[in-house]
């Protein structure tokens, strides 16, 4: 078992929270808060059917904070009228379900992102993988942790530093199940 051989489908989260393009930012923020998650995948309108939709965009906690900060300098009523389509990040970087954890790490680093919707061969979403899901898999598997070479640590230094913070957090607050 190594990060080069384990497919992302083995550690991805299958129950992905989704929204339509025309859903309000307030409703999306509420979903994120109620589910203790950091992102909602936006599906093309009229295709919100669990995990069978075509991905249109993604909204992360960073997007919400950016918009809330901008609303402080402009009319606050503008924020009330924004929809997912107005602030979602697109195009969305995705990863194939059969790709390795190593591939996910590389894609996250290359695109400076923390979450990757996982798609099947037809391009339909089947899950999502976040850096925290990778961290959790590494700390829960001795063989996976042992497979992380010095080269990986050097090449993916920022992610390795986040892994270290995550491990420390797990030791101080075990069982915190927040993800995405």
179 pLDDT more than 60: no
Residue 2: Cβ within 10 Å count: 15
CATH architecture of 8-172: Roll (3.10)
Question: How far apart are the C-alpha atoms of 175 and 3, rounded to whole Å?
Answer: 23
Locate 133 and state its tokens: 């899901």
Q: Is the pLDDT of residue 46 over 80?
A: no
Residues 127 and 13: beta-carbon distance below 8 Å: yes
- Give me the pLDDT at residue 77, please: 47
Q: Could you please report the per-residue DSSP string of 157-168?
A: HHHHHHHHHHHH
Tell whether the model's pLDDT for residue 167 goes beyond 70.
Answer: no
**What's the confidence (pLDDT) of residue 101?**
92
Q: What is the pLDDT of residue 168?
A: 67
Greatest alpha-carbon pair distance for the chain in Å reads: 54
Q: CA separation (Å) from 47 to 18, 32, 108, 109?
A: 10, 20, 26, 30
Q: What percent of the chain has pLDDT over 90?
A: 46
More confident residue, 66 or 37: 37
Does residue 170 or residue 1 have the better pLDDT? Answer: 1
What H or E segment, with its residue span, contains residue 119? strand 115-119
Specify the pLDDT at position 140.
83
| Separation between Cα atoms, residue 73 and residue 178, nearest integer Å | 31
Average pLDDT, the chain: 81
- Give Cα 144 to chain centroid, integer Å: 21
Domain ranges within the chain, ordered by starting residue: 8-172
3-state class (DSSP) for residue 178: coil
Which pLDDT does position 128 carry in this prediction?
96
According to the model, what pLDDT value does residue 68 have? 76
Provide the pLDDT for residue 3. 85
Show the tokens assigned to 177: 């199940």
Q: What tens digit of pLDDT does each residue of 72-131 get?
A: 655 554 566 789 999 999 999 999 999 999 899 999 989 999 999 999 988 889 999 999
The residue among 52 and 139 whose pLDDT is bigger is 139
Closest to 167 (Cα-Cα) out of 132, 122, 123 = 132
């Amino acid at each position: 078992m190594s990060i080069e051989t384990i497919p992302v489908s083995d550690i991805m989260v299958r129950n992905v929270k989704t929204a339509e393009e025309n859903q309000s930012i307030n409703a999306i923020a509420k979903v994120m808060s109620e589910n203790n998650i950091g992102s909602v995948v936006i599906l093309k309108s009229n295709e919100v059917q669990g995990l069978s939709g075509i991905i249109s965009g993604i909204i992360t906690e960073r997007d919400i904070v950016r918009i809330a900060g901008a609303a402080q300098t402009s009319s606050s009523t503008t924020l009330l009228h924004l929809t997912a389509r107005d602030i979602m990040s697109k195009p969305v970087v995705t990863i194939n379900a059969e790709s390795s954890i190593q591939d996910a790490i590389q894609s996250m680093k290359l695109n400076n992102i923390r979450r990757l919707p996982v798609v099947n061969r037809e391009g339909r979403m089947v899950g999502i993988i976040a850096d925290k899901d990778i961290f959790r898999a590494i700390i829960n598997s001795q063989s996976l942790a042992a497979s992380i070479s010095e080269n990986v640590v050097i090449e993916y230094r920022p992610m390795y530093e986040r892994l270290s913070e995550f491990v420390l957090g797990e030791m101080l607050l075990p069982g915190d199940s927040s993800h995405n």
